A = this chain, B = another copy of it.
Amino acid sequence: MLSRVLIANRGEIALRIIRACREMGIETVAVYSEADRAAPYLKLADEAVCIGPAECAASYLNIPRIISAAEITAAEAIHPGYGFLAENINFARICADCGITFVGPGVEAMRLLGDKVAAREVARNAKVPVVPGSDGAIKDEKEALKLAEKIGYPVIVKAAAGGGGRGMRVVHNDMGLRSGLAAAKAEAEAAFGDDCVYLEKFIVEPRHVEVQVMADAAGNAVHFYERDCSIQRRHQKMIEESPCPVLDEPTREKLCEAALRLIRQSNYVSAATVEFLVDKDKQFYFIEANTRIQVEHPVTEMVTGHDLIKWQLRIAGGETINIRQEDIRLRGVAMECRINAEDPQNNFSPCPGRIDAYIVPGGFGVRVDAFVHQGWTISPNYDSMIAKLIVHQNTRAEVIETMKRALREFVIEPVKTTIPACLEILSHNLFVKNKIDTGFVERTLF
Residues of chain A whose beta carbon lies under 8 Å from any beta carbon of chain B = 15-16, 19-20, 22-25, 40, 44, 298, 301, 305, 307, 309, 331-332, 357-360, 362-370, 373-375, 394, 398, 401-402, 404-405, 408-409, 411
Contact = CB atoms under 8 A, between A and B. Distances in A.
A309 B402 CA distance: 14
Contacts of A360: 360, 362, 368
For the complex formed by this chain, how many copies does it contain in all? 2
Nearest to A370: B362
A60 B368 CA distance: 32
Nearest to A24: B401
A19 B40 CA distance: 29
B44 A408 contact: yes
B364 A19 contact: yes
Contacts of A358: 373-374
A364 B367 contact: yes
A360 B373 CA distance: 9
A365 B302 CA distance: 8
B16 A363 contact: yes
B374 A307 contact: no
B374 A369 contact: no
Nearest to A405: B22
Contact of A405 (B23, B305, B357): B23
Given A19-B409, A331-B331, A362-B369, 5 more contacts: A19-B363, A24-B401, A44-B409, A301-B364, A363-B367
A402 B362 contact: no
Contacts of A22: 401, 404-405, 408
A16 B365 CA distance: 12
A402 B370 CA distance: 17
A373 B359 contact: yes
